């Protein structure tokens, strides 16, 4: 029951995670009222294609339970605050399809650890969000599942301009947060899939150090790269979410790190005077649009005004990150996706002649073009006679990329630069040119290959006539386990600017 000082229902979606949590604790509004408000917004903005599964009765039951805990004084840190999950995380109360016909309608018998941990913190699940099939893509156009009650047989649209992509593969998450359909969402980042859509949709997102967040219950793409992380409107909100979702999960995830839980919001207000920010020469060369260059340089100047020191650095193997990533990631995908064979769960072809034909027909029908492309590349580079020439060499260069970062961190504390070379492109613009999509990841891939934490925060808007008003993001990269430092720097920037508070017209 909301108190007499209840909030205006019309203002609820403009509140972030921290503000909503405070309002719920103060009983200015009930969790059921909040949940219903965001469910109504999801129903009103189906044109974006962000949600693939919404189950009102499940969400409202979770919200009612949150209200009961608040009344009893046993509320979690984020009690009653809504969140929606990328459709790559297993959820027992919602479908888990990974954006693929291969898993259309699949219901998991358990929740992913990330989902479970956020539920333990008291968060209420609004539903599942669209993503590129098996998280393979940079535009959220590679999605082909039909979920109960909602269809994602359409690309997700960017709320800043609905003829543009939202980025990928966590495009549904980014679009939903930007459009104020949810205050927070989960995403996954294999080669930039949190940072790039966050930049294209004008929100904040962070990928923690590899192993910080459990991969248990996350449908695998590339096991040595996949990492979960939060997406919200501000660094402060991301810090609260990251504190809840990170932690050791040694019994269920072999890649989980044995590090204690951490309060990532502890140093948000620390002064950044004297902090050394490395600016890589390789991030500002040919191919970077003028709008992105200007916005990132202006943001760096703002950080200087806050007392930070800009330091020129080199990351000489940046360009090699693209062929390295697109050798290693498809190889791991080829292995991980071999389990989808029509035998145990998921799609099975209706007609086949024998076992081999069932495998062939099932996988041909179940996987989309981009997934097939990456499986074929991965199988090729792992095959006899090519393993040493391609996969092994890629792993060696991966180590060199990681070494480049360690060399750079001897001269700086944080690295800053653009997230992507351009703003969000138009739907269909690069659909027939997968290499063009791959090249758009050039600035996000190095940190992923090294397993480093990285985040994106909004720093401006394009002014060029063709792209006017589209958001631009800046990337911050830290050394291992330096998430709190990144969030501190981003928070101080956001205290001095208001780019993160801007919202698309009509939302």
3-class SS letters over 77-145: CCCCCEEEEECCECCCCCECCCCCHHHCCCECCCCCHHHHHHHHCCCEEEEEECCCHHHCCCCCCCCCC
* Domain-embedded: residue 143: yes
Match 């060029």 to its residue by tokens: 464
Q: Which residues are catalytic?
A: 86, 169, 193
| CB-facing half-sphere around the CA of 278: CA atoms within 13 A | 24
pTM, full prediction: 0.96
pLDDT of residue 150: 43
48 lies in a domain? Answer: yes
Distance in angstroms (rounded) separating the CA atoms of residues 115 and 217: 9
In a domain, 83, yes or no: yes
How is residue 340 written in tokens? 């989808």
Enumerate the β-bridge partners of residue 414: 277, 478
Distance, in Å, from the CA atom of 446 to the CA atom of 458, rounded to the nearest integer, reads 20
430 is a domain residue: no
Residue 497 lies in a domain: no
Quick check: bond before 169 cis, omega within 30? yes
**Partners of 218 in the beta sheet?**
89
> Among candidates 66, 79, 154, 148, which has minimal Cα distance to 107?
148
> Residue 48 — φ and ψ, nearest 5°?
-75, -25
What local confidence, expressed as pLDDT, does residue 1 receive? 42
At residue 432, φ and ψ (nearest 5 deg) are -95, 10
Residue 440 lies in a domain: no
SS3 label, residue 414: strand
Nearest-angstrom CA–CA distance, 431 and 420: 18
Q: Is residue 153 part of a domain?
A: yes
Structure tokens at 303: 């950080």
Q: What is the CATH number of the domain that holds 114?
A: 3.90.1300.10
290 domain-assigned: no
Q: What is the pLDDT of residue 151?
A: 41
Strands 414-418 and 276-280 come out as: parallel
CB atoms < 10 A from the CB of 356, how many? 9
What pLDDT score was predicted for residue 3? 44
Calpha distance 135→115 (Å, rounded): 17
Domain range for 54 is 15-245
Spans of the chain below 50 pLDDT: 1-5, 147-152
Tokens 């950080």 sit on residue = 303
Residues 6+ apart with CB under 8 A from 279: 300, 310, 311, 312, 313, 415, 416, 417
Domain count, the chain: 1
Percent of the chain residues past pLDDT 90, beyond the cut: 90
């Amino acid at each position: 029951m909301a108190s007499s000082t209840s909030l205006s229902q019309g203002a609820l979606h403009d509140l972030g995670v921290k503000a909503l949590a405070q309002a719920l604790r103060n009983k200015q509004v009930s969790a059921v009222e909040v949940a219903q408000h965001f469910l109504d917004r999801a129903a009103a903005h189906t044109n974006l294609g962000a949600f693939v599964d919404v189950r009102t009765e499940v969400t409202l039951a979770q919200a009612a339970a949150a209200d009961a805990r608040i009344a009893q004084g046993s509320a979690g840190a984020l009690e009653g605050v809504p969140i929606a999950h990328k459709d790559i995380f297993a959820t027992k109360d919602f479908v888990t399809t990974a954006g693929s016909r291969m898993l259309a309608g699949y219901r998991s018998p358990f929740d992913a650890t990330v989902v479970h941990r956020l539920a333990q913190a008291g968060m209420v699940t609004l539903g599942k969000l669209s993503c590129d099939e098996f998280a393979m893509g940079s535009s959220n156009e590679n999605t082909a599942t039909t979920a109960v009650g909602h269809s994602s047989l359409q690309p997700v649209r960017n709320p800043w301009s609905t003829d543009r992509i939202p980025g990928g593969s966590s495009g549904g998450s980014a679009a939903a947060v930007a459009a104020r359909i949810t205050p927070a969402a989960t995403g996954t980042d294999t080669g930039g899939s949190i940072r790039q859509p966050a930049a294209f949709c004008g929100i904040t997102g962070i990928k923690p150090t590899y192993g910080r967040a459990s991969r248990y219950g996350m449908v695998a793409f590339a096991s040595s790269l996949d990492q979960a992380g939060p997406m919200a409107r501000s660094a402060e909100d991301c810090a609260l979410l990251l504190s809840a979702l990170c932690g050791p999960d040694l019994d269920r995830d072999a890649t989980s790190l044995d590090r204690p839980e951490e309060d990532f919001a502890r140093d948000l207000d620390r002064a950044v005077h004297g902090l050394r920010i490395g600016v890589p020469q390789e991030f500002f060369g040919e191919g970077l649009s003028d709008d992105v260059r200007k916005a990132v340089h202006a943001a760096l100047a703002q950080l200087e005004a806050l007392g930070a020191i800009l330091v020129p650095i080199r990351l000489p193997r940046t360009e090699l990150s693209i062929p390295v990533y697109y050798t290693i990631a498809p190889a791991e995908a080829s292995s991980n996706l071999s389990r989808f064979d029509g035998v145990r769960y998921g799609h099975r072809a209706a007609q086949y002649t024998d076992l081999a034909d069932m495998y062939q027909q099932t996988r041909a029908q179940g996987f989309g073009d981009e997934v097939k492309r990456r499986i074929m590349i991965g199988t090729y580079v792992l095959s006899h006679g090519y393993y040493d020439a391609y996969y092994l060499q890629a792993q060696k260069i991966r180590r060199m990329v990681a070494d480049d970062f360690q060399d750079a961190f001897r001269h700086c504390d944080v690295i800053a630069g653009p997230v992507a070379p351009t703003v969000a492109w138009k739907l269909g613009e690069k659909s027939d040119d997968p290499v063009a999509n791959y090249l758009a990841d050039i600035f996000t891939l190095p940190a992923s290959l090294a397993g480093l934490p990285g985040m994106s925060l909004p720093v401006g808007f394009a002014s060029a006539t063709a792209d006017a008003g589209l958001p631009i993001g800046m990337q911050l990269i830290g050394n291992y386990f330096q998430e709190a430092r990144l969030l501190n720097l981003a928070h101080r920037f956001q205290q001095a600017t208001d780019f993160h508070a801007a919202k698309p017209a009509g939302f």
